[in-house]
């Protein structure tokens, strides 16, 4: 009796990403919740902060990353909770693939959803606040910040998915760990929006890059032990 060959790492990652995207585009549960939540956040800030144009531009980075962080946490929580509730998580762990494929597949899926939310938020925010957000440097910061936030968030969501209080537990664990990436992203975004010198922007930008590399590597190394528990 012959068995089919074991899929390669890239094939397994691609299969997990396709599964997540296909399931989400059929149900639209996760993405619609993230989009509605992010829209509500920026609308609340828009009406709550009755500021002059100059001050609005100064708070833009903080409002944007608050929106991204809250919507991203909602997405991370729901993405793993759906796997657990439907019994898919056990099937993934029993599949004959490297556990790293599960981690990177979930990271890419969550990152895709976060990018969709950001692509939805940026033009609406720009129209409401009359701020030009389509700056190449700002888009680079959003990319780096989203990667770091999703990389560590996916690991922590895998840890908390078994808990009954996972909706509360994930933000409690995630926000302290993600403080460096959020602060660096806000500072770098503010620098690009205000036209600051690159000498001021490089330190937070370098911190974002280092954070992405270190935490992605750490999450990759400990993911197997986390899901075994």
Is residue 69 in some structural domain? yes
What is residue 1's predicted lDDT score, i.e. its pLDDT?
A: 47
Quote the domain boundaries for residue 176: 10-228
Burial of 176 (0-12, 13-18, 19+ CB in 10 A): exposed
Q: Which of 176, 181, 161, 183 is nearest to 76 (CA)?
A: 161
Is residue 42 in some structural domain? yes
Q: What is the pLDDT of residues 110-159, one digit of tens each?
A: 999 999 999 999 998 888 888 888 888 999 999 999 999 999 999 888 88
Is residue 158 in some structural domain? yes
Question: CB of 71 within 8 A of CB of 38?
Answer: yes
Is residue 52 in some structural domain? yes
- Measure the CA–CA gap between 181 and 187, rounded to whole angstroms: 10
How many structural domains does the chain have? 1
Q: What six digits make up the tokens of 33? A: 């919740």
HEC sequence for the chain: CCCCCCCCHHHHHHHHHHHHHHHHHHHCHHHHHHHHHHHHHHHHHHHHCCCCHHHHHHHHHHHHHHHHHHHHHHHHHHHHHHHHHCCHHHHHHHCCCCHHHHHHHHHHHHHHHHHHHHHHHHHHHHHHHCCCCCCHHHHHHHHHHHHHHHHHHHHHHHHHCCCCCHHHHHHHHHHHHHHHHHHHHHHHHHHHHCCCCHHHHHHHHHHHHHHHHHHHHHHHHHHHHHHHC
- CA-angle at 94, arms to 92 and 98, nearest 5°: 75
pLDDT at 8 over 80: no
Is residue 40 in some structural domain? yes
Question: CB of 116 within 8 A of CB of 38?
Answer: no
Phi then psi for 186, rounded to 5 degrees? -65, -45
Q: Is the dihedral of CA 179, 79, 16, 65 positive or negative?
A: negative
pLDDT at 189 over 80: yes
Does the reported pTM lie above 0.75? Answer: yes
Is residue 4 in some structural domain? no
Q: What is the pLDDT of residues 59-113, one digit of tens each?
A: 888 889 999 999 988 888 877 777 776 667 667 767 667 778 888 988 999 999 9
Is residue 194 in some structural domain? yes
What is residue 206's predicted lDDT score, i.e. its pLDDT?
A: 94
What average pLDDT is seen over the chain? 84
Is residue 2 in some structural domain? no
């Amino acid at each position: 009796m012959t068995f089919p060959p074991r899929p390669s790492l890239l094939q397994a990652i691609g299969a997990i990403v396709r599964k997540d995207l296909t399931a989400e585009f059929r149900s639209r549960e996760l993405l619609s919740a993230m989009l509605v939540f992010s829209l509500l956040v920026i609308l609340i800030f828009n009406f709550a902060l009755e500021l002059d144009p100059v001050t609005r531009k100064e708070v833009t980075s903080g409002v944007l990353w608050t929106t991204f962080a809250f919507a991203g946490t909602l997405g991370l929580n729901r993405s793993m909770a759906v796997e657990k509730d439907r019994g898919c998580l056990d099937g993934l762990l029993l599949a004959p693939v490297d556990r790293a494929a599960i981690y990177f597949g979930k990271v890419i899926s969550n990152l895709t959803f976060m990018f969709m939310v950001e692509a939805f938020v940026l033009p609406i925010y720009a129209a409401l606040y009359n701020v030009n957000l389509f700056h190449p440097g700002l888009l680079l910061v959003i990319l780096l910040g989203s990667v770091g936030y999703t990389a560590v968030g996916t690991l922590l969501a895998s840890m908390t998915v078994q808990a009954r209080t996972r909706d509360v537990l994930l933000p409690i664990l995630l926000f302290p760990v993600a403080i460096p990436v959020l602060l660096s992203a806000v500072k770098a975004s503010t620098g690009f929006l205000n036209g600051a010198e690159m000498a001021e922007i490089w330190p937070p930008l370098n911190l974002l890059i280092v954070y992405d590399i270190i935490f992605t590597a750490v999450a990759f190394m400990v993911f197997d032990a986390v899901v075994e528990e």
